[in-house]
Amino acid sequence: MSPFEWSFPTKLTYGPGRLKEVGKIAAEYGKKAMIATYEKGSPLDPVIETVSASLKAAGVEVVLFTGIEPNPRAQTIDKAIEIFNTEKCDLVIALGGGSVIDGSKYIAATAFSGGKSWDYVVLGERTPREYTGAFPIISIPTISAAGSESNAGGVIQNAETNEKSFSRSPYRLPKVAIVDPEILKSVPRRLTQDSCLDIFSHLIEHYLSSQDESDFADRMTEAMILCLIDNLDKILEDLSDLEVRMQLALCSQFGWSGLQALGRLGSIPMHSIEMPLSAHYDLPHGKGMVIVMPAYLEYMSDALPHRWAKLARRCFGVTEQDDAIAAKLLPVKVKEWFKRTGSYLTLTDVGIPNDKFEQMAEDVVRMFPIKGTETTAGARPINKEDVINMYKLMA
Ligand SMILES: [Fe+2]
């Protein structure tokens, strides 16, 4: 095991009908709140009304900022930051999926610390600017996927350069996450599938990343994967099942909470490989991850075969005892599972041609240079050629 630090300071306010408590909760953090959300005109409109009414009833003034995109643009976030500061808001209420919550984190921390949102993302060899603090954030996830509602991460996109990148900061951990399955039940079928498979991608990021042994982390991760597989099947039978929605919400929150990294540091670069797909083709993140995963698992199955084999045996019913063979069965089983849920599997399925593989691979190695040991590089260091080969497997 590697030494580690872990904390989970976000308070979860969890259960049907809890949305109405937002006013009372927000009043603890200030008198004027910016609600950051998607463009109006979606099924979320009544939810925005409920949140506004609750805030006003609690004496909290509301500044509504709509228009955060599914891949949030740094330029849009910067507009929100300007309004936040001009209006002298005290806190941000992030009402939306991972994109809105990520964007809201950049609003809260950049408005506090100064500069532009893009100054703070990881970008090649440059040293990103560091936050000096952040205004409080209350997150209200409208989909179970990113786990952003209770973690420190955040991804945004630069519309001028077609780059998408991330950063992490403990300042941006939401104070409270209000998780109300009444909101989650309206997530349509395809988006529910994509987001559940995105949760799976988070769960395996650490599991497949290093030689570190951490049986506790392994067992926690395996339990969450099995819970996810069971509940994805159930929710596809009845999209309005609140009990199942609540289980999936827990998978989302704890799937990207760091719990699965206790004693097992490092992560694999699947998200870095997906980012150019979103940046160049505006592909929603979950959709991109569904396509990236089988290719990554296949291409890298010989990197840490005993880790691949362990996951195949414990979560996907593989009985083969030879690690090298069992490792190769993992992508096969994962693909079978994806197919069973009705997912598309290739770039062609989502209308992405093969003419930018070289450029996208260049983006990956330029923006996320792999340095250091195997642990920091993931299962095995990869180069531009490897990334191109993986994109070819997705075609
Ligand atoms: Fe993700």
- The DSSP-derived string for 130-148 is --S----EEEEESSSSS-G
In angstroms, rounded to a whole number, what is the distance separating the alpha carbons of residues 106 and 58?
26
Give residue 126's pLDDT: 84
CA of 289 relative to ligand 1 center, distance in Å: 7
Give residue 266's pLDDT: 81
For the chain, domain boundaries: 11-184, 189-394
Give residue 353's pLDDT: 94
**Per-residue model confidence as pLDDT tens for the chain (395 residues):** 888 889 999 999 999 999 999 999 999 999 999 999 999 998 899 999 999 999 999 999 999 999 999 889 999 999 999 999 999 999 999 999 999 999 999 999 999 999 999 999 988 878 899 999 999 999 999 999 989 999 999 999 999 998 888 999 999 999 999 999 999 999 999 999 999 999 999 999 999 988 888 999 999 999 999 999 999 999 999 999 999 999 999 999 999 998 988 998 888 889 999 999 999 999 999 999 999 999 999 999 999 999 999 999 999 999 999 999 999 999 999 999 999 998 988 999 999 999 999 999 999 988 877 654 443 457 888 889 999 999 999 99
Give residue 42's pLDDT: 87
Q: What is the DSSP letter of 267?
A: -
CA of 35 relative to ligand 1 center, distance in Å: 24
Give residue 43's pLDDT: 87
CA of 91 relative to ligand 1 center, distance in Å: 26
Q: Which one, of 97, 95, 79, lies nearest residue 87 by Cα? A: 79
List, in order, residues 6 or more apart from 351 with CB less than 8 Å away: none
SS3 at position 37: strand
CA of 263 relative to ligand 1 center, distance in Å: 21
CA of 325 relative to ligand 1 center, distance in Å: 28
Tokens of 152: 């420190």
CA of 191 relative to ligand 1 center, distance in Å: 13
Domain 11-184 in CATH 3.30.830.10? The answer is no
Give residue 373's pLDDT: 44
Question: 132 exposed, middle or buried (CB, 10 Å; 0-12, 13-18, 19+)?
Answer: exposed
In angstroms, rounded to a whole number, what is the distance separating the alpha carbons of residues 302 and 76?
42
- The DSSP-derived string for 297-347 is HHHTTTTSHHHHHHHHHHHH------HHHHHHHHHHHHHHHHHHTT---ST
Structural element, H or E, at residue 157: strand 153-158
249 and 205 in contact (C-beta within 8 Å)?
no
Give residue 380's pLDDT: 85
Give residue 200's pLDDT: 97
Neighbours of ion ligand 1 (CB under 5 A): 198
CA of 24 relative to ligand 1 center, distance in Å: 31
Give residue 393's pLDDT: 97
Domain 189-394 in CATH 3.30.450.20? The answer is no
